[in-house]
Structures are given as C-alpha cells and as structure tokens.
Amino acid sequence: MLSDDWHLTEDVDDFLARAGDFLCSRAALHNTPLTDLEKLQVRKAADHETASCVFGRLESAGEVRAVFYLTARGRLGLTPLPAGQTEVLAARLAALGHCPAHVVADHDTAGGFAESWQRYTSAASVLFWRTHLYRLGTLTPPRPSPAGRGRLTGGRDREQVVRWCREFCVDVGERSSLDMIDAGSWEESRFGDRRFTFWETPEGIPTSNALYQRLGYVRVADFAGYRFSYDAPRGRRVGAAAWRDGRSRRNPPSP
C-alpha cells in the first residue's frame, strides 16, 4: 500500500525553498513547472492574488520525488509521478474539494491522472493539447548556411508576434493563453515575458520549425493536457485514440 507522502502549502516561496533543487535537477524536463512557478512568484511579489494556489511535493526517504501545483485559473501541473501516485494525489485533491479545470504533464502522468480523477469525481476528460519537448544536444550548424539573418523583435513587430502566437494557440488548442490574448492580457499569457527572434531571408520569409531537429535538438519527452468537465455523463473520456494514431502537429521546442 502506498503511503500518502504529499506535503501541501499555499506559499510558493516556501514550496520552492523545499522543492526548488528537485525541479532544477532536471531543468529540461521540468521546464514548464519552473516557468509557471517563477511567474507565480513574480505575481506574489507584485501583490497579485495568489492565495488560492496550492502547491504539493511528494517526499520519500527525505527526498522530493515529484511535485504538483494548482493555480487560481484551475491549471494543474504535474511532474512525472511514480506508479500508483496518480490515485493517491487524485484522492487527496478530491477530499480537499479541489476542482482543477485541466491537467498538463508528461503523457503517461497526464493520462493516468485523468483516469484517476474520473474515478474519484466522475469528471469527464478530453485530450485538448499535446506536444513534444526538445533540448539542444550537439549543435549542428546547417551547411551551407541559410540565407538571411536573425533579428530580435521590437515594438514594431508586436502585432505580428501576437498574431502568430494566437494562431499557435488555436492550432494546439491552448485555450487559457488564447483567452488572455483575446482579453488584451498579452503580458499575463505565457508568451508575454519572452523574447522573440525573427529569421529573415532576403525574401522576408520565417523558416520551418523542422529546422530545430536539423540543428541538433533532441526529444526529451511527450506531454499532454486533459480538460475536465464536471457535468458530463460518467465514464466519458475523449482523446486517447487521437494520441495513439500519431496524427499530431509538431510544435517547436520549449526554450
């Protein structure tokens, strides 16, 4: 029988003081949690409302093995969980009355939690997002070098950047960022604090994302997101077949 070793807090600073080393130990794999948690720290420092967020760490033999965070917007982020721990976590969150809007994690963890959450709450789950995470291995400059040059975007490029990021959100079903962009809250979206570079050819065209793999980016993990519905018929789960059939849009690597 698995023991419930999840330790919960509502203080992001306390959470990172205890779990930060674990997250940084595999910075590529934990790229999304590190980014999300840094944003929550910034919002707390700026007196934004973060009191309704919940953070948890799974400990075993005095070491952190996994973490979760549940934001005020209902985003449940998970690092890879050991076998059986999706059941333990789902039971704990359900008992505390939490109702995440969606879960985002590596493919196996996200799917496992969606199934566990359905058993405890009868919530239907829909696969709404999936992507591949890449990291740079050995840089392999293209030969011959492509025509053109890189250029950091500036104020005159903002409209183009916003438009392309919005189109990306539509393509991959990223509802939360899409809603923020449409509401005029670009800075609050996950794109708002990033720096963008355009690669401009003499004809003025950005290149295909396939370039990343040719430059030496290697695949780290597959990720998925499941959205929860609390008023659908019991037992309904949509999207698993879509994952298995392999028909997906390849997304650019995380920074």
pLDDT of residue 91: 95
Query: Of 100, 99, 117, 97, which Cα lies nearest the Cα of 109?
Result: 117
pLDDT of residue 237: 46
Q: Within 10 Å of residue 130's Cβ, how many Cβ atoms?
A: 21
pLDDT, average across residues 54-75: 94
Show the tokens assigned to 135: 């990291």
Q: Is 41 exposed, middle or buried (0-12, 13-18, 19+ CB in 10 A)?
A: middle
Query: Of 18, 98, 85, which Cα lies nearest the Cα of 52?
Result: 98
The confidence band for 3, taking pLDDT boundaries of 50, 70 and 90, is: low
At residue 208, φ and ψ (nearest 5 deg) are: -70, 150
pLDDT of residue 169: 86
Please provide the average confidence, as pLDDT, over all residues in the chain.
83
- b/e string for 222-236 if b means 16 or more Cβ within 10 A? ebbbbbbeeebeeee
Specify whether the CB–CB gap between 207 and 198 falls below 8 A. Answer: no
pLDDT of residue 120: 94
The predicted-structure confidence for 75-127, as pLDDT tens digits, reads as follows 999 999 988 899 999 999 999 999 999 999 999 999 999 999 999 999 999 99
Q: Is the pLDDT of residue 207 over 60?
A: no
The confidence band for 247, taking pLDDT boundaries of 50, 70 and 90, is: very low
The predicted-structure confidence for 13-54, as pLDDT tens digits, reads as follows 999 999 999 999 999 999 999 999 998 888 887 666 666 899
The predicted-structure confidence for 129-184, as pLDDT tens digits, reads as follows 888 888 888 988 878 877 788 889 988 899 999 999 999 888 777 777 888 899 98
DSSP string, 118-184: HHHH--EEEEEEEEEEEEE-S----SSPPSSEEEE--GGGHHHHHHHHHHHHHHHT-HHHHHHHHTT
Show the tokens assigned to 57: 């760490």
Q: Which helix (H) or strand (E) holds 32?
A: helix 31-45
pLDDT of residue 175: 78
Specify whether the CB–CB gap between 135 and 28 falls below 8 A. Answer: yes
User: How many whole angstroms separate alpha carbon 98 and alpha carbon 44?
Assistant: 21
Task: Say which range, 42-46, 62-66, 88-92, 224-228, has the weakest mean pLDDT.
Answer: 42-46
The confidence band for 208, taking pLDDT boundaries of 50, 70 and 90, is: low
pLDDT of residue 97: 94
At residue 132, φ and ψ (nearest 5 deg) are: -115, 140
Specify whether the CB–CB gap between 38 and 71 falls below 8 A. Answer: no
Q: Within 10 Å of residue 22's Cβ, how many Cβ atoms?
A: 18
